[in-house]
Structure 1
């Protein structure tokens, strides 16, 4: 990864962790889903006017010219929006990746509902704002807000399209201007699919620059490096490169740093890297115990509490289903460490979800447990498996739930750390992982191999496993 991209990933991750990250999505992301961009939308309008939309740079003016020649009748413009954006196209991979990140604030100039669809598919509760009145209303339990500053496809008559709409925007949509101004001051934005030709955004960025000349917040944009088009002369291509470079320099006035990629697919790679690195700061602990083996309940509890304390001390987040015989010790250690500093809260660093064991219907219970496990596992990047046994009719058997969580974590690409020394299901899983270390840990295998083997050897005192286990987690968390 190039240095500027690596720098962006690291700094944006920090903002995500501190809940200061936001996204601004432009038409480029919707175009990848099959929707038209502005030239495509304005093409029939331009044709009626005797113009060519591909040759025009001021596409907002085309909509105004149309209104000027049609006595301000918006019917054709409204119909164009309905025709082009009513089809329910699916979100792109980039939409899905953005929806999986812990971002709560989304801004867009798009009329479609791709962001909403991606967020809702991920189980998030969306509060969409596209009228002034909606800004004063909060949807209960929301975990994502989408500000659609140019309107929504369901209300094409109110969409911002023409010069008149843009020129009056700061009076007709003043609350949106105020809200965006505040977010740009307080949050770090990532601009995607945006051309920076929107006059509204340009005006707001200019106001921020005039007010905060020396103290603007850092923002980022990911854009494709200009490539030579077919039938484009070298002189035309060189001219386009100069123009792009000048635009990128101009964006620096607003403290927007652009990360250039050679292919659009690299945008998804960057977003996947951000998601991967964010998730690996969360550790999922899977395990249960009706029989503590040679360690005994007291030593096992002490070990799990120390492990939980160490994870919190490393500023990692713990997620767990509060497994029988294991979960209580995890909670004890985590809470003790969290309360040892005033800079941390339980909500930020510990997510526990005891399984609802009171569901009598077997099919309903299986469906609920599957969804429960999925929501727990998908938030983490590292999974630890300890023991894994239960009492069935007076007989100790391996816990099938631990195996299910292992398979789910493997499918979702988590780093898998079975503590083989603890026995039961974890021992079986450890054998499976160590027999294919290069498959489960394709990078840094030489460092990981001895650490993984160390947590599988028999020990009388489980605390002896803490050093190699924590070294292994450190290695994976920084990879």
Structure 2
């Protein structure tokens, strides 16, 4: 039974956070960048050699090499090189998100340079003699089936024919041994594969020969046949293939369209960010005094702080605006009294290094000073946060909410406090945004506007737990 998107994010996210994740990238990610698929790649040579259509594309390539008059191996390899180098290696959003994920081993059967362009810090392993470098680098891209170089030539000759496939273990014993070891010791994600992809047989061979324990499963993201021309027989074959994978220890996460992959990976990147919360908001009064801020925001900040006190694993970040300061202060006060205060868990960001801010009435958390502008600093901080909590606020808070939304950071507004928080809440009342890769309960969203600060804060805490992936996702 295929797993849900939220279950995938939780399962593979945990593998990344434990340092035990690997990924195997198939042709699907290259097609999204404009590269031809296998059938399109072989089609001109197949037509020239008068080879009928056949589902076994490596066998078609084999037949091309057996026709020296119209094809031959040299002509086929040159044709493939020309087709690949005709497309500029511009990484897709999926490649860019892979760069952000802490995955040490990235395996691929693709010839192009998309992965190394997106992840320039990784060492590229393209031959038998370099496999020993995998363990000595923080990140490695292992190109199993050949690689096009930066100057438009083959750095490693391609694996393309049926003979190449059948002799792979004999001709590449070290690479195959390392792949088997990685498969047995890591949680591997197969991404960009389809059952029509010739390289799917690598996945199937690993699954059938090595298997895996039921509590240590690998994952394949697959698209089922859902087109208007797909027959019941085609759909049934897909179901049987999924069952085959599941029985061999590879669980399947189904997507309805390949365009879903970037969103799936973006949720995964969010899941593996540090558990950080950014607090935004103000009294929304011009030139408000500290006493005015306290009078307007105090009850809401105190209620929120009371729910955050026990979440010692979460970092609380702010620009030391009124809402951020009051909430952080109240959390710190309680933790100090209870003897579990850790200043590193409360971070206050100050802008400008020439004029220090007025000294706060008490020291709280860790202060970080920067000369970045607010427009640079806030997005930079949000890149490493899972959630933004908004308490009242005006135009600047609304802008920070937009910055957070653009980065898929969960925005949780204490709507009853008014201002920008209420405006965002009201705009999303009919269809609350997903939080933590899961749907947001509408009744919980409605409670964010309860006039009782305690009730609104409890609703916010429930959604914060969802944003922090504290609540297990149902598969």
Normalising to structure 2: TM-score of the pair? 0.68
- Looking at secondary structure, tell me which structure has more helix per residue: 1
Do 1:433 and 1:440's aligned partners in 2 also have CA atoms closer than 8 Å? no
Comparing 196-205 and 326-335, the one that deviates more:
326-335
In structure 1, C-alpha distance between the alignment counterparts of 2:317 and 2:255, rounded to whole Å: 38
In structure 2, C-alpha distance between the alignment counterparts of 1:192 and 1:464, rounded to whole Å: 43
Comparing 78-87 and 66-75, the one that deviates more:
66-75
Aligned partner of 1:248 among 237, 242, 248: 242
Structure 1 residues 31 and 436, CA, compared in 2 at 3 Å: closer, same or farther? closer
In structure 1, C-alpha distance between the alignment counterparts of 2:262 and 2:289, rounded to whole Å: 46
Structure 1 residues 265 and 356, CA, compared in 2 at 3 Å: closer, same or farther? same
Question: Could you tell me which residue of structure 2 aligns to residue 31 of structure 1?
Answer: 31
Question: Could you tell me which residue of structure 2 aligns to residue 473 of structure 1?
Answer: 464
Q: Offset at 1:346? A: 11
Structure 1 residues 183 and 403, CA, compared in 2 at 3 Å: closer, same or farther? same
Aligned partner of 2:278 among 284, 288, 308: 284
Question: Could you tell me which residue of structure 2 aligns to residue 392 of structure 1?
Answer: none
1:384 aligns with 2:389: yes
Aligned partner of 2:57 among 36, 56, 59: 59
Higher relative contact order (CA 8 A, sep 6+): 2
Q: Offset at 1:84? A: 1.8
Question: Could you tell me which residue of structure 2 aligns to residue 409 of structure 1?
Answer: 404
Q: Offset at 1:40? A: 1.6
Structure 1 residues 105 and 137, CA, compared in 2 at 3 Å: closer, same or farther? closer
Q: Offset at 1:377? A: 1.0
Do 1:284 and 1:380's aligned partners in 2 also have CA atoms closer than 8 Å? yes
In structure 2, C-alpha distance between the alignment counterparts of 1:133 and 1:352, rounded to whole Å: 47
CA RMSD of aligned residues (A): 5.1
Question: Could you tell me which residue of structure 1 aligns to residue 88 of structure 2?
Answer: 88
Q: Offset at 1:131? A: 3.1
Question: Could you tell me which residue of structure 2 aligns to residue 373 of structure 1?
Answer: 378
Do 1:355 and 1:369's aligned partners in 2 also have CA atoms closer than 8 Å? no
In structure 1, C-alpha distance between the alignment counterparts of 2:106 and 2:54, rounded to whole Å: 29
Comparing 350-359 and 185-194, the one that deviates more:
350-359
Structure 1 residues 23 and 334, CA, compared in 2 at 3 Å: closer, same or farther? farther
Question: Could you tell me which residue of structure 2 aligns to residue 153 of structure 1?
Answer: 148
Superposition pairs of residues 204-223 of structure 1, within 5 angstroms: 204-209=206-211, 217-223=216-222
Do 2:214 and 2:249's aligned partners in 1 also have CA atoms closer than 8 Å? no
Question: Could you tell me which residue of structure 2 aligns to residue 128 of structure 1?
Answer: 124
In structure 2, C-alpha distance between the alignment counterparts of 1:34 and 1:447, rounded to whole Å: 43
Do 1:304 and 1:329's aligned partners in 2 also have CA atoms closer than 8 Å? no
Structure 1 residues 373 and 111, CA, compared in 2 at 3 Å: closer, same or farther? farther
Question: Could you tell me which residue of structure 2 aligns to residue 320 of structure 1?
Answer: 317
In structure 2, C-alpha distance between the alignment counterparts of 1:92 and 1:357, rounded to whole Å: 36
Q: Offset at 1:227? A: 4.5
Do 1:128 and 1:148's aligned partners in 2 also have CA atoms closer than 8 Å? yes
In structure 2, C-alpha distance between the alignment counterparts of 1:257 and 1:245, rounded to whole Å: 13
Secondary structure of the corresponding residue to residue 110 of structure 1: coil
In structure 1, C-alpha distance between the alignment counterparts of 2:375 and 2:272, rounded to whole Å: 24
Superposition pairs of residues 1-400 of structure 1, within 5 angstroms: 7-52=7-52, 55-70=53-68, 74-86=73-85, 87-88=87-88, 90-96=90-96, 98-99=98-99, 101=101, 103-118=103-118, 125-137=121-133, 144-154=139-149, 156=154, 158=156, 159-194=158-193, 195=195, 197-198=198-199, 199-209=201-211, 217-227=216-226, 230=229, 237-267=231-261, 270-271=264-265, 274=268, 282-286=276-280, 292-293=290-291, 309-312=309-312, 317-318=314-315, 320=317, 323=320, 354=349, 357-358=352-353, 370-385=375-390
Q: Offset at 1:241? A: 3.9
Structure 1, unmatched stretches of 5+, are: 389-397, 458-462
Q: Offset at 1:291? A: 6.5
Structure 1 residues 167 and 380, CA, compared in 2 at 3 Å: closer, same or farther? same
